[in-house]
Amino acid sequence: MERKEKTPSFDDRARDAAEYLMERFWILREEEPELYQMVRERERSLRLYFMDKLGYHLIIHRYFVKLEKLPARPEPWMGVDGFTLIGDYALFCCCMAYLESKNIEEQFLLSDLCETLLSFYPGEEGLDWTNYSRRRSLVRVLQYTVEEKLIKVVEGDIAGFGLEESCEVLFEVPPISRYFMPSYPKELPEFSNLEEIYNGRWRESRGMEEYEGMRRRHRVYRRLYLSPAIYSGGADDPDFLYLRNFRHRLAEDIAGHSPFRLELYADTALLVSPERKGRLTLFPENRALSDMTMQLAVLSRERWAALEEAERVGGTLSLSAVEFEQLVMKCKERYGNGWSKEYREALPAETAAALLDYLLRWQMAEQDSESGTITLLPLLARLGCRYPDDFGGDRL
């Protein structure tokens, strides 16, 4: 009789390791040997948990550890902060293709890279390195690749290329550059659309029912861990039905394997951290806008509380564009002394536009494309902050 292997325990050290793996793109052994060792010590329990609940592969390499994270669906905030143009992403992919042709620890010059990219770059327009905006785009890409340790600067200054086309830089290919891109069951050109790429990462089980159940579990866990919130899509939303049917099991499982707690409301689900941990990232894109958003949340709750009972619809608050701008200005009157100079001096319409874009990106608001009506969503109401008591300006 075959003996069933016991599932390894998930202790506090494994929970800490799981938290770091979810927060980081990868953990480099050379830079953080203690974290690397923490993951190695709990490798089996981590590998089993992430594969079972999220369908994620844990890569253990002598130079690094990496959890290959793929979201349930692409979202606006899931880009590279430093990239400002679509062309930046195209150039980055071309650079990665160039690195594939190089050996580990091989050195190359910026001029050689630029020459090769001319043939790699897609589209009829092509590349023109005499164009300042094109050079700045490559500078952004190269700075990102250096930050992510995909290439190493041996000599020279990348920023100089933005000013002068003849600027030369010497680079080196580190070993980890081969492991930046995730692996797929087949070549990317063989996929016909984005949905096939996402589905291609799931392994088919023995039966379709088991396969669909596994996909739903992975999808719900991925949305909980990677998305700011999950909103119900209606009575027949399969993900929200799963959350309601298995909420107790999910809550217990998440609390036992992460620092988070599951909160489930009538039409919203999200993970929150009961403890204040500096290493956890909260809306990292723009610190100034992040603070302003949490202050706006206080005012939105006050406005919602002042509504008549019949006007309170599902924990949301609908405003016209003018009303939203007025709410932002009221927020500035109360908290503006603590805002950054950029937003203290900005015009009301500019501040409102910046905040609205931020709310839309982080699933705290939605806007009707025809009427322009802005709906503040329940996630915003879950946030809030105040200035410390010794702050010199206005405070909550």
pLDDT at 281: 62
Question: Are 320 and 360 within one domain?
Answer: yes
Confidence of residue 171 (pLDDT cuts 50, 70, 90): very high
Indicate whether 188 belongs to any domain: no
Q: 353 near 321, Cβ under 8 Å?
A: no
pLDDT at 81 over 70: yes
pLDDT at 394: 45
Average pLDDT in the chain:
87
Are residue 52 and residue 96 in the same domain, yes or no?
Answer: no
3-class SS shares of the chain: helix, strand, coil, % to 5: 50, 10, 40
Question: At 138, is the pLDDT very low, low, confident or very high (cuts 50, 70, 90)?
Answer: very high
272, 305, 321 - which closes a domain: 272
Q: Can you give the CATH number for the domain in which 368 is found?
A: 1.10.10
In a domain, 21, yes or no: yes
pLDDT of amino acid 327: 95
Cβ contacts of residue 346 below 8 Å, gap of 6+? 354
- Work out the pLDDT band at 111, boundaries 50, 70, 90: very high
In a domain, 223, yes or no: yes
Q: Output the pTM of the full model.
A: 0.85
Q: Are residues 173 and 231 in the same domain?
A: no
The answer to whether position 208 is within a domain reads yes
Task: Give the pLDDT confidence of 173-208 residue by residue, as tens digits.
Answer: 998 888 888 777 777 778 888 777 766 665 544 445
State how far the alpha carbon of 54 is from the alpha carbons of 220, 281, 318, 335, in Å.
Answer: 8, 20, 35, 41
Residue 387 lies in a domain: no
Alpha-carbon gap, residue 326 to 348, rounded angstroms: 8
Written as one letter, the residue type at 341 is K
Q: Are residues 61 and 92 in the same domain?
A: no
Q: C-alpha angle 121/185/98, rounded to 5°?
A: 25
Task: State whether 122 and 62 are in the same domain.
Answer: no
Q: What's the full length of the chain, in residues?
A: 396
Structure confidence by residue, pLDDT tens digits, 35-64: 999 999 999 999 999 999 999 999 999 999
Q: Please tell me whether residues 132 and 104 are part of one structural domain.
A: yes
138 burial type by CB count under 10 A (0-12 exposed, 13-18 middle, 19+ buried)? buried
Q: Which domain holds residue 216?
A: 204-272
pLDDT per position as a tens digit, 331-377: 999 888 889 999 999 999 999 999 999 999 899 999 998 999 999 99
Q: What confidence category does residue 285 fall into, taking pLDDT thresholds of 50, 70 and 90?
A: low
In this structure, the answer to whether residues 208 and 267 fall within a common structural domain is: yes
* Residue at 153 is within a domain: yes
Q: Does 317 share its domain with 376?
A: yes
Mean pLDDT, residues 298-321 taken together: 83
Pairwise CA distance, residues 366 & 318, whole Å: 9
Q: Are residues 156 and 234 in the same domain?
A: no
Q: Do 247 and 174 have their domain in common?
A: no
Domain count of the fold of the chain: 4
Q: Identify whether residues 301 and 375 lie together within a single domain.
A: yes
77 within some domain: no
3-state SS class at 13: helix
Residue 212 sits in the same domain as residue 237: yes
Question: Nearest CA to 143 among 134, 128, 153, 131?
Answer: 153
pLDDT band at 2; cut points 50, 70, 90: very low
Dist. CA 23–CA 15, nearest whole Å: 12
The amino acid occupying position 328 is: V
Q: Is residue 99 part of a domain?
A: yes
Query: CB–CB of 347/198 below 8 Å?
Result: no
